[in-house]
Chains A and B, each alone.
Chain A
Amino acid sequence: MSSMSSRPGISALIALAGPAAAGAVIGVPLGSRQILVQAATVPAAIVGVTAFMVPALYIASSLAGISPPAQDVGRAVLGGLRSTGLLLLGLSPALLFLLTTTPSELLSLLLIAMALLGAAAVGMRALYGLLFGPSSPRLRSLPVYGGWALVCLGLSAHLLLQHTARPYVRHAFKGHASVTIIPGDAAPVAPARRAS
């Protein structure tokens, strides 16, 4: 096991650097501005949402009688985010290659979703293991954690749909004929202005 797991500073750095690297990679096909925007959006969606939801997890698990002490919850969350960050760091080169050689925006979004969901799943699994351990009663820990995880994923997905998927969809429409039809509109509209 890497010695980094016992040093919270390095774990925190990996927890932020992984999503930031993945975000920068996601922004590459969209232009230089989006590299910075996505490098901020993806960590916000993953790390920010998780940090925002930690009190809810602590409260719910305490009410269920299965919560470890508060410091252990903090360490477990850091461990889970570190796992996610590590995986995103490792997947970034492959994701960069695939996104820069795939012209289809839909396929690109699918690849991004696979990478982010995979990393989230590994992080969630690691967090569960660190929080509750093998001796914890599963009948209580699984529903509490499952419900919390679903809300976390929902909040992150909403952020990412708004700020990551939408630029890709806009980019897709910008690349087609000069007269653009937005689905649901009755008449064609002028082409969208270039994103600044």
Chain B
Amino acid sequence: MTAAAPAFQPAPGSPILGAVDRLLRDPQGVLRDARDPSEAANLARAALLTIAVGAACFGAAMGTARGGLQIAYAAIKLPAAILLTTAVCSPALSALNAALGRPTSLRTDLFLVLASLARISLVLAMAAPAVLLSVWFEVSYHSLILLVVACCAVAGAVGLSLFLRALPGGDVRHKLTVAASLLCVFGLVGTQMSWTLRPFLQRPRDTQVRFVRGVEGSFLEAVLTSSRSARGIYSRSSAPLPGEVSP
């Protein structure tokens, strides 16, 4: 069997930067190479670095809406939220594959998740200037929230497409079951993790810059409250400021 010619020339320079470049341009090739133990460590380091830097760029862009310390806080918290969610949810992928009798390996499954998240982080890093521009043009708080959500949705779609294409095994129904289940687990844990580490974009009314707020309910409860508020049903006259007791 003749070896296939490489589709592109990887960027010269450090192996880490080369691996990051390949994550962007040849992710399937990266996933194939990750099965080789000698390559796996380098590729995993590249994926982790990409997540840390890419998400930090987007976090910092969100933090410029408030400025000052919030830039640093958001730049630290967003990669932390992604990596902590990965640590908590990755066992579920291997468990799902094993429970469904699909091919599974802890290392390969973890790298698949890291590679997908690295792609997401690269898209977020790409979108960071758009958020920065919106802040400089003094777009309203709620519009900024919608822009951030849209950027995350696009990034998520890119990462999910890699994940689906790279999932091993032939049975399409099983692949879809695994993908849908993992999406559910990641969604629940990721949203709650973000809620726990909030704020990323501070409310204009909130005068104090803090690293995290106290635990107040959960993300799902906040969504229910927001949906009631959107229909004009309020349980209090205004959101409490730091130190205020909720009316």
Is A142 on the interface with B (CB-CB < 8 A)?
A: no
Q: Is the CB of A84 within 8 A of B99?
A: yes
Q: Is A196 an interface residue (CB 8 A)?
A: no
The CA-CA distance from A83 to B172 in the complex, in Å, is 19
Q: Does A101 contact B (CB under 8 A)?
A: yes
Complex contact A94–B89 (CB within 8 A)? yes
Count A-B pairs with CB separation below 8 Å. Answer: 78
Contact A98/B91 with A87-B99, A103-B218 known, Cβ cut-off 8 Å: no
- Whether A104 sits at the interface, judged by CB under 8 Å, is yes
Once the chains bind, are A107 and B92 in contact (CB under 8 Å)? no
CA distance A104 to B216 in the complex (A): 10
A98 & B221 in contact (Cβ 8 Å cutoff): no
Which residues B77-112 have CB closer than 8 A to chain A?
Answer: 87-89, 91-96, 98-101, 103-104
B188: chain A residues within 8 A (beta carbon): 94, 98, 111
| Residue pair A91, B185 in contact (C-beta under 8 Å) | yes
Looking at the assembled complex, report how far the CB atom of B203 sits from the nearest CB atom of chain A, in whole angstroms: 21
B215 touches A94 (CB 8 A): no
Q: A2-B98, A87-B99, A90-B95 are in contact. Are A101 and B104 (CB under 8 A)?
A: no
Query: Do A97 and B189 contact each other (CB < 8 Å), given the known contacts A87-B96, A89-B91, A90-B96?
Result: yes
Residue in B91, B181, B189 whose beta carbon sits within 8 Å of that of A118 in the complex: B181
Query: Contacts A94-B188, A107-B218, A107-B221 known; A101 to B196 CB distance under 8 Å?
Result: yes
- Is B193 an interface position by the 8 A CB rule? yes
Could you tell me which residues of chain B, from 167 to 208, have a CB within 8 Å of some CB in chain A?
181, 185, 188-189, 192-193, 195-196
- B92 — which chain A residues lie within 8 A by C-beta? 87, 90-91, 93-94
Most chain B CB inside 10 Å of its own CB: which residue of A90, A101, A119? A90
A122 touches which one: B88, B93, B100, B193 (CB < 8 A)? B100
- A102, CB-defined interface residue at 8 Å: yes
The chain B residue sitting closest to A85, CB to CB, is B99
A91 to B95, Cβ gap below 8 A?
yes
| Complex contacts, A5 vs chain B, CB 8 Å | 101
B99 proximity list for chain A (CB < 8 A): 82-84, 86-87, 90, 119, 122-123, 126
Complex-state Cα separation, A126 to B103, whole angstroms: 15
| Contact of B220 with A by CB under 8 A | yes
What sequence of 0s and 1s flags, for each residue 116-142 of chain B, a beta carbon within 8 Å of any chain A beta carbon? 000000000000000000000000000
B217 at interface by CB-CB < 8 Å: yes
A1 at the interface (CB under 8 A from B): yes
Query: How far, in angstroms, from A92 to B96 measured CA to CA in the complex?
Result: 12
For the complex, give the distance between the alpha carbons of A2 and B105 in Å: 9
In the bound complex, how far is the Cα of B90 from the Cα of A91, in angstroms? 9
Instruction: Give Cα A103–Cα B214 distance, bound, in whole angstroms.
Output: 12
**What are the residues of chain A within 8 A of B192 when measuring CB–CB?**
97-98, 101-102
**Contacting residues, chain B, for A123 (C-beta < 8 A):** 99
**Interchain nearest-CB distance for B18 vs A (Å):** 33
Q: Which of A83, A86, A89, A101 contacts B218 (CB 8 A)?
A: A101
Q: Mark B38-58, 1 if CB is under 8 A from A, else 0.
A: 000000000000000000000
Residue pair A107, B220 in contact (C-beta under 8 Å): yes
Question: Which A residues between 118 and 133 are near B, CB-CB below 8 angstroms?
Answer: 118-119, 122-123, 126
Q: Which residues of B contact A119 (CB under 8 A)?
A: 99
Closest Cβ of chain B: how far from A28's Cβ, in Å? 14
11 residue pairs bridging A and B, Cβ less than 8 Å apart: A1-B103, A82-B99, A83-B98, A84-B99, A86-B98, A90-B95, A90-B98, A90-B99, A93-B89, A101-B196, A122-B100
Binding site for B on A (CB under 8 A): 1-2, 5, 82-84, 86-94, 97-98, 101-104, 107, 111, 118-119, 122-123, 126
Q: Give 9 nearest A-B pairs by CB, closest first.
A: A90-B95, A83-B99, A90-B92, A87-B99, A86-B99, A90-B91, A102-B218, A93-B88, A86-B98
